[in-house]
Amino acid sequence: MTVKPSAAGAAAPPQPLVHPEAWSLRVDQLEYLETILMAVAVGMLAALGNLGFRRLIDFFSWVFRGLEWRALGIHEHSWTLLLIPLILLSGGVGMLILNYFFPGDVLGYGFPNFLEMVNLGNARIKRRWIFLKALGAALSLGSGASVGREGPIAQIGGAIGSAVAQMRRLGVDRAKVLVAAGAGAGIATTFNAPMGGLMFAQEIVLMGQTELANLVLVIVATFTAVVTSRTVMGEAGAVFHPVQFHMASYWELLSYGLLGLMLGLLSAAYIRFFHGLGRYVRSIKQPQWVKLTAGLAIVGAVAIVLPMNLADGYPAIGQAMQGKVAAPMLLSLGVAKFFTSAISLDCGAPGGVFGPIFFIGTMAGGAFRQFLSLFMPSLLGPRGSYSLIGLGAFLGGVTHAPMTALFLLFEMTELNYSVALPAMIATITALVVARSIETESIDMYTLAREGKTLAIGRERLVLTQLPVSSVMNAEVDVLPVNAPLHEVLRVAGETSQATLPVVDSQGDLVGLVVTRDLLALLAGGTELGPLVNAFDLCRRNPPVVTSDSNLDQAAQLMEYEALDELPVVESPQGGHFLGLVARRGIAQAFNRVTVSLSAHEIGDRGIFWATGYRVMRIRIPAGAAGRTIRQLDPRASYGVSVLAVQDAGDAIAGFAPIAPDRALKPGDLIIAAGRPADLRRFSRELEEPAAKASAAPT
């Protein structure tokens, strides 16, 4: 008998164990998941690109140092070694042909330019670099130029990351991370070192500036790249196979400290020689092809005596790490690479500097061990161990990237932590010594001397475009030059200012009374007689800025002079006092910049940065096409700063700093900053040519 449940006691329909909404993702979660998948794709593509690049190097090595080498009949211990320069010159012909069709994208050491594009630009790397950097560097390495493959590998991976970011129309910040992820993935694949690739992306490409969420993308890309490489090539994908690291005793740590000291000195010398030679080569008034062929001929001449110096010298590095190279040869090869790598890259051969750094550090480490064995033979480990540590220490000293060097060493030794203490001692010592002599790394040296620094963010770059007048306070307390002591004390006690400008009867700045100096005099019991006046108490020739100085300059000057306020005058030589710029005002402007840049990515609102000072978007009309910022001169003519531009033909690129000689195009969108009336005058100036053209009789 079946009993039907009553309506009141009807059984409830079965409920799912998990509510369907629990499986749904928010939009931001879906976007982040998509970005993770993009990082996986970047890692896989960078690994495959790296493997293809290796095959390209092998092909050109077979062509130049295989087929052509045998065709010329070059043999060891024979006069035919004199023909080696012809091998390099034939490779140079290929480089010049490639450069003819793609000028500016092939020749020379381009990694600093790559870093500038990532950190100071919009992180859009040319897609053709994926092929051009590979082809140019493969020609260079295949023919025997004394360059490295790591810089091109990083640029190839970075171009892949940029291509993926452009395909998905990502913003500049996220695109920058994918570029760094691609670069790190390329390095990780080369050395079978995912953490080393991660540190390379973080320390060198991103300059240590990234958020944790973005760092996850780099980790995903580098580990994906190594997994892909190992799947395709197995463990044979690693380029170096050092012997087991061995340390005789803990007393040996002293020798590694001395090794770090020596390599620190050598690092600073290499940085300065590399860039000094580059300046000299650029000063030579000869065509590029003359410089390239001359440089390659010199490298070829050295190879007549030391053929192991050709190309990146990875086989020689491997032999040195296994202790199979005699001390005189270690020293000779290190000195040869020191000079020929700088000559190759400065004369225009495509390639990177990591390979030469590895080579020099390895040879120097092994040679140094042999030198120490003359004094303490029983306290030293094998020569290969010193070559391994020398590689890391010299890398840290030249690139100023110690974590990259350390993790590469750990992973090359398969996480043998007995290498940790010697590696840290030598690397940190080398870094400290190198930085005490030369503050810039090999990649930052030229940029620093051009007035560029990658250590500042986009917001501070915009601050360089803001004049002091935007935050200057003209209504401040001042002291007449002959103000008596009691008047100085009264004003100092009533004002909130940290400084009191002292002016003469014409209003010109005479000096600056710093209130803390005044308090120190009173607290110290210094005798201040009734005849003492403001002139006696002030600092003469104080640091000053003009109303046209930018806020970044003012902030740096405050830091150097340990002041919270600076007087603003008519000219750098002094003159009429205009007001004060305070550290707090600059900080407020900095915060407004951060808000403004974020807001302008999503809307068209005007953002006020200071009293009466704002930024706005201006669409370039057709009549202003072809004009440049240098021609318009908005700062001098209207008191307006043009901060950034978005190209009309590439709206997904976002805003980027504008070059003064870039021709404006119809539809370009610029961000301009200034006072509202000045912005309106500037906008009308842009539209007037169009209005005049439409009103002109036909």
User: 385-418 pLDDT, tens per residue?
Assistant: 888 899 999 999 999 989 988 988 888 777 677 8
pLDDT in tens, 46-83: 989 888 998 999 999 999 999 999 999 888 888 888 99
Sign of CA dihedral 439, 443, 449, 454: negative
Q: What is the CATH number of domain 612-695?
A: 3.30.70.1450
Length in residues, the chain:
698
Q: Does the pLDDT at position 124 exceed 90?
A: no
- Strand order across the beta sheet in which 607-610 lies: 607-610, 613-619, 669-674, 641-646
**What six digits make up the tokens of 458?**
């986009």
How confident is the model at residue 94, as a pLDDT?
93
- Tell me what pLDDT residue 618 has: 84
How many of the other CB atoms lie within 10 Å of CB of 392? 31
Q: Which residues are within 8 A (CB) of 118 and not within 5 positions of it... i.e. 6 or more apart? A: 125, 158, 176, 179, 180, 205, 206
Domain edges within the chain: 27-237, 250-457, 462-586, 612-695
| DSSP calls for 381-394 | --HHHHHHHHHHHH
pLDDT score recorded for residue 237 = 52
Q: State pLDDT tens for residues 328-345.
A: 999 999 999 999 999 999
Q: What is the pLDDT of residues 593-640, one digit of tens each?
A: 665 555 544 444 444 455 456 677 788 888 888 888 878 888 777 878
The SS3 assignment for 169 reads coil
The model's pTM: 0.66
Among 509, 624, 190, 328, residue whose Cα is nearest residue 672? 624
pLDDT score of 347 more than 90: yes
Matching fold, domains 27-237 and 250-457: yes
Residue 646 banded pLDDT, cuts 50, 70, 90? confident
Is 383 in contact with 367 (CB distance < 8 Å)? no
List strands edge to edge, sheet with 499-503.
479-480, 499-503, 509-514, 539-540
Between CA 461 and CA 459 the distance in angstroms is 5
Given a contact cutoff of 8 angstroms between Cβ atoms, the answer to whether 510 and 535 are in contact is yes
| Better-scored residue on pLDDT, 149 or 453 | 149
| Cβ proximity of 359 and 334 under 8 Å | yes
pLDDT for 88-102, tens place per residue? 999 999 999 999 998
Mean pLDDT of 363-380: 85
The reported pLDDT for the residue numbered 465 is 63
Task: Name which of 134, 229, 119, 126 is nearest 177 in CA terms.
Answer: 119
Beta bridge partners of 645: 656, 670
Q: At residue 134, what is the residue type?
A: A
Provide the 10 A C-beta neighbour count for residue 298: 18
Q: Between 497 and 657, whose confidence is greater? A: 497
Instruction: Indicate if the pLDDT at residue 17 is higher than 70.
Output: no
Which CATH superfamily groups domain 27-237? Answer: Clc chloride channel (1.10.3080.10)
Mean pLDDT across the chain? 81
Taking 90 as the threshold, does the pLDDT of residue 252 lie above it? no
d(CA 545, CA 334): 49
> Is it the case that residue 309 has pLDDT exceeding 50?
yes
Smallest CA-to-CA distance from 201 within 217, 218, 224, 226 is with 218
Average pLDDT on 245-251 reads 75
Query: Highest mean pLDDT range out of 218-222, 515-519, 584-588?
Result: 218-222
The kind and range of the H/E element at 253 are helix 253-283
539-540 and 669-674 as β-strands: parallel, antiparallel, unpaired? Answer: unpaired
**pLDDT surpasses 70 at 689:** no
Given CATH 3.10.580.10, say whether it is the number of domain 462-586: yes
Tell me, what's the pLDDT at 277?
A: 92
pLDDT at 272: 93
- Residue-wise DSSP of 446-457: HHHHTT--TTS-
Q: Do residues 433 and 266 make contact, with C-beta atoms less than 8 angstroms apart?
A: no
More confident residue, 288 or 203: 288
For domain 250-457, give the CATH number: 1.10.3080.10
Residue among 432, 434, 424, 433 nearest 253 (CA): 424
What is the per-residue pLDDT for 3? 44
Q: Which CA distances in Å does 664 have to 479, 627, 644, 657, 679?
A: 48, 6, 12, 13, 17
